[in-house]
Amino acid sequence: MTRICILGGGFGGLYTALNLSRLPWAVMPEIILIDRNAHFLFTPFLYELVTGEMNEWEVAPSFAELLANSGVQFVQGTVTDIDLDARQIEVNVGQPSTLTFDRLVLAIGGETPTNLVDGAAEYAIPFRNLDHFHRLNCKLELLEASTQDKIRVCIAGAGSSGVELACKIADRLKDRGRVRLVDRNEQILSKSTAKNRKVAELALSKRGVWTDLHTKVEQVTDTDITLDYGNGRDTLPVDLVLWTVGTSFSKLLQKLPVPHDQRGAIATEATLQLRGYGDVFAIGDAGGCVDANGQVLAATAQVAFQQSQYCAWNIWASLNQQNLVPFSYIPLGEFISLGIDGATASILGRFDIDGLPASLMRRFAYLLRMPTLQHQWKLGAYWLTKPFVETLRKSM
């Protein structure tokens, strides 16, 4: 039986597995999804956990739940080695195990590089997964339970992740919070639309978030942070540092004997196949997010979602003597969460909306992007009934 192994259960990997399971196979192949975690993470909603707007089950359903009755096998384990020539991968599932493959999908996500600044790896918290959220939440709960008057938070990186975190934390801490956003660029959200940037700047200002632009972080300790303003340095006391700067590619993938681009991403063909290895596909952070025109794309859930559709089709085509299709990215727009019940959105580069309407639109759009119809119905029903249930509880 043909075996397709998919390494990584993020947007690229999980959605490729589900798309493969829905294609018209004459004989259904063995589809194996491998991830170190037991739960998929819908990363755009990770920020809602900070303010308690959502529960973990909404944001991180288990792979077992999502893959039930799909025909996709899930293996929870850590990939330790990949041999492309022998078509083998080694997976640690409590003990070493070897799997062979006929087709392989590399969808191992990137990491936040915290080794660029002295002390960041030890004292700063990234924000990419549930473990990071738990670390952040634990620290915030300790600070909130303390007797200190003000809670000082510094967030390195003023991209969408940093801006969303700044607004959410400011809303959570309210008057006790002293939130600072630091970025080396001349403006926040440097890759966003001018309208989204303007709305975000206003949202930060309303919440009292201090923004330091043209500023680099030089050092992080457990009690302070040193900033370089270009014309001088300053060391500021801080209770919590969050790190949302940059993306580094998987060390496991960097070791593969295949061409890499200057950033360290695996070089792929327009069909998402590795150069020289037509049976291996790379998507998401692993493939460097480059479209058919050679344009470097941001490593977002939207890009990985679209790549998963092409990847699944091209795997099916390669096994059924059909033509493969080059990946073509369609930028559908951008949603940025701005605190509780706030957001800004740019739709297809033509329509802009902000405030509560944008927040509701964001929720609905992401609901439609949930991996399975069952989880969509479960979430939709919960969201619709939640206000009535909460009102009933308060009246009792």
Whole-number pLDDT of residue 286: 76
- Cα of first residue to Cα of last residue in the chain, in angstroms, is 59
Higher per-residue confidence, 379 vs 191: 379
Whole-number pLDDT of residue 330: 86
Q: How far is CA 235 from CA 87, 143, 177, 226, 227, in A?
A: 52, 21, 19, 4, 6
What is the gyration radius of the CA atoms in the chain, in angstroms?
Answer: 22
- Asked whether the beta carbons of 181 and 223 are under 8 A apart, the reply is no
Cα–Cα distance, 259 to 13 (Å, whole number): 22
- Structural domains in the chain, CATH included, are 3-111+248-319 (3.50.50.60), 121-243 (3.50.50.60), 335-395 (no CATH)
186: its two tokens: 């001349």
- Could you give the strand order of the β-sheet that contains 216-220, starting from the edge strand earlier in sequence? 216-220, 224-228, 233-237
DSSP label at 267? P
- Asked whether the beta carbons of 364 and 343 are under 8 A apart, the reply is no
User: Of all residues in the chain, what percent carry a pLDDT higher than 70?
Assistant: 95
Whole-number pLDDT of residue 31: 98
**What are the tens digits of pLDDT across the range 237-284?**
999 999 999 777 788 888 888 877 766 677 888 899 998 899 999 998
Helices (H), the chain: 11-21, 46-50, 56-59, 63-67, 120-123, 130-145, 160-173, 194-206, 251-254, 301-319, 356-368, 373-395
* pTM of the complete model beyond 0.85: yes
Model confidence at 350: pLDDT above 80: no
Count of alpha carbons within 13 angstroms of residue 330, beta-carbon side: 6
**What are the tens digits of pLDDT across the range 279-322?**
999 998 776 666 666 666 767 788 899 999 999 999 999 999 99
Whole-number pLDDT of residue 290: 63
Mean pLDDT, all residues of the chain: 91
**What are the tens digits of pLDDT across the range 118-166?**
999 999 999 999 999 999 999 999 999 999 999 999 999 999 999 999 9
Q: Is 325 exposed, middle or buried (0-12, 13-18, 19+ CB in 10 A)?
A: middle
Whole-number pLDDT of residue 202: 96
Cα–Cα distance, 330 to 396 (Å, whole number): 50
- Asked whether the beta carbons of 174 and 206 are under 8 A apart, the reply is no
